[in-house]
Structure 1
Amino acid sequence: MEKIAIIGAGNIGEALIAALVGAGTDPQTIVATNRSAERSQQLADRYGIETAEDNRQAATDADMVVLCVKPAQVPDLLDEIGEVIAAADVHTVIVSMAAGVTLTTMEEVVPAAGAPIVRVMANTPMLVGKGVLAVAYGRYVANDQREAVREVLATAGHVVEVEESQLSAVTALSGSGPAYYFLLTEALIDAGVSLGLPRDLASELARATAAGAGAMLEQKSDPVALRAGVSSPAGTTVAAIRELEESGLRGAVYRATEACSKRADELSQR
């Protein structure tokens, strides 16, 4: 790929830049924009990439344009760069990382007929190269473009392909999912303090346990078997699990993800 444009290189945009450069992508093939000239210079110094003063300049003749802006900014941004993309010598694929903006909405804004557009629901662990990136392809995305998108996103984590109709559920599970684990870890820390542990020790234990459990899930995907492996008959873990189940943990997760998915649907309909 000769040119990748990252429009709106904030935290998520920088995470993708760092992942690409770390995976061996030539930094000179990456061009980024940011509203702050100081921020752009920092990115150039840190990663050796090119930066552009405006979005149209960045998008010109780019093989891939990645939109890392807030959802409300996407239509105006596409309107801004649409003519540049339509006039390009290459068939630019547009990749939106913004939640809630549908493929149809974006296709209607871009003036180029048959513009290849991709929606991505990513989560914040991509900041440490452990993201989950769910991809939904528009109807005009060619097979070689699909492969190129997968290769770019895979530098930042685990890529799965989904239907656009599944993205609200994906948002509820993996998009917002890290916050659920953070909340559980926070609760464990507070519980440790309640049991008499110093907060720094409780924090160390809870965070290390979360990291270890995550590593085990990566190696062995069945959480039921993993839970059974630490649940001795009539033991301490079983007593804790019973209390969590009787307190409605599983039902709370159902309701929380349903609320998240419903809100994602509402945002997509704006």
Structure 2
Amino acid sequence: MAFTFDGPLLLVGAGKMGGALLEGWVARGFDPARIRVQDPAPPPEIAALLARLGVTAEPVIDATGEAPGVILVAVKPQLMDVVFPSVARLAGPNTLTISIAAGRTLSSFEKQLPQGAAVVRAMPNTPAAIGRGITACTPNAHVTAEGRAACEALMSAVGEVVWVDGEAAMDAVTAVSGSGPAYVFLLAECLEKAAVAAGLDPDLSRRLARATVAGSGELLARSELDAATLRQNVTSPNGTTAAALAVLMADGGFEDLLKKAVLAGEGRSRELAK
């Protein structure tokens, strides 16, 4: 997808997600000369990436020169009140602002930007680091078709992009796909510990757990079958998998726990917006 917006691209925050986005943009042909980065102290690996691309991270971006075509804000929600006010002053009448901060509402940005400013709230996840992320986006009323296309071009550089109708759904999105990788990593962690408890060598347990979770995820990604059908295909009647699933699928088991976890994450996302 082409990068069609005019003006420079300002990336605010060059952490892991900011770095993944930056690398994805350049890999897709975006000119590094059009990128400005605001970050007082990028981590070493991102600093090395910036040096390789010939992009300088600046502690504060001054207001001289052309207004950004896009401002993408990739700082932690807790830092937003410190960082964004000075950034908002850089926006021109045609600037699109994209935020990937969990819990921060569209209105919280609108209050600091020029009247009628176009804002998109986006929630990527950590598989973006390998180009396998998914980002959910929701726009305010001022985002045009061209603005949506610009946002999709930028975020698709690190994976799939979906649009959500209504900002209220973003709290659930955050709890499902934003936090979801941590649930998957916990599964691998627990599977490894269970393997050790069953008498396997720790190194073998780690390899089996990691490969099983990673391979199953790749199979799910490539298959046209839904997750339930794939699960059923592994499960022989009265076999070992069926015995294990009887425990996981009992009342109060895996499904109920995961539902509680997602609802807890959704609630915390709402709290961050207050």
Common fold by TM > 0.5: yes
Query: Alignment identity in percent?
Result: 35
Matched, 1:243 2:247: yes
1:131 to 133, 143, 149: 133
Answer 1 or 2: which has greater helix percent: 1
Q: TM-score, normalised by structure 2?
A: 0.90
- Equivalent positions of 1:41-80 (< 5 A) are 42-56=48-62, 60-80=66-86
Q: What is the alpha-carbon root mean square deviation over aligned residues?
A: 2.0
Once residues 188 and 226 of structure 2 are traced to their aligned partners in structure 1, the CA distance between those partners, rounded to angstroms, is 21
Partners of 1:16 and 1:234 in 2: how far apart? 47
Q: Which moved more, 1:242-251 or 1:44-53?
A: 44-53
1:252 to 252, 257, 271: 257
Matched to 2:189, the amino acid is E
Mapping of 1:126-165 within 5 angstroms? 126-162=128-164, 163-165=166-168
Matched, 1:218 2:221: yes
Cα distance in 2 between the residues matched to 1:256 and 1:82: 35
The letter of the residue matching 2:245 is I
Distance in 1 between residues matched to 2:174 and 2:152, nearest whole Å: 19
CA distance in 1, matches of 2:129, 2:162: 18
The answer as to 2:205 corresponding to 1:202 is yes
| Residues 175-214 of structure 1: CA deviation (Å, up to 9, x unaligned) | 1101111111100000111112111111111111111111
CA displacement 1:67-107 (0-9 Å, x = unmatched): 0112133244332133331xx4x611001111111101110
TM-score by length of 1: 0.91
Distance 1:264 1:38, change over 3 A: closer
Q: Where does structure 2 lack aligned partners over 5 or more consecutive residues?
A: none
Contact 2:14 2:42 in 1 (8 A): no
Residues 134 and 170 in structure 1, CA contact (< 8 A), matched pair in contact too: yes
Alignment CA distance shift 1:19-1:38 (3 Å): closer
SS of the residue 1:31 aligns to:
strand
User: Number of paired residues?
Assistant: 265
Report the secondary structure of 1:166's partner residue.
helix
Which is worse superposed, 32-41 or 119-128?
32-41
Aligned pair 1:191/2:194, yes or no?
A: yes
Q: Partner of 1:27 in structure 2? A: 32
Matches within 5 A, 1:50-129: 50-56=56-62, 60-85=66-91, 88=92, 91-110=94-113, 112-129=114-131
Given candidates 26, 36, 40, the residue that maps to 2:41 is 36
1:168 partnered with 2:171: yes
Distance 2:213 2:85 in 1: 44
CA distance in 2, matches of 1:236, 1:219: 26
Deviations 1:27-48 (A, max 9, x none): 2222212112786753431333
Select between 177-186 and 196-205 the one with higher mean Cα deviation: 196-205
Residues 136 and 38 (structure 1), Cα distance of their counterparts in 2 relative to 1, 3 Å cut:
closer
1:4 Cα offset (Å)? 1.2
Q: Following TM superposition, by how much is the alpha carbon of 1:60 offset from its aligned partner in structure 2, in angstroms?
A: 4.6
- Shift, 1:26, TM fit: 1.8
Distance 2:40 2:14 in 1: 9
Following the alignment from structure 2 to structure 1, what is the Cα–Cα distance between the partners of residues 61 and 79? 13
- CA 1:53–1:148: 2 relative to 1, 3 Å: same
Q: Residue 30 of structure 2: SS of its match in structure 1?
A: coil
SS of residue paired to 2:111: helix
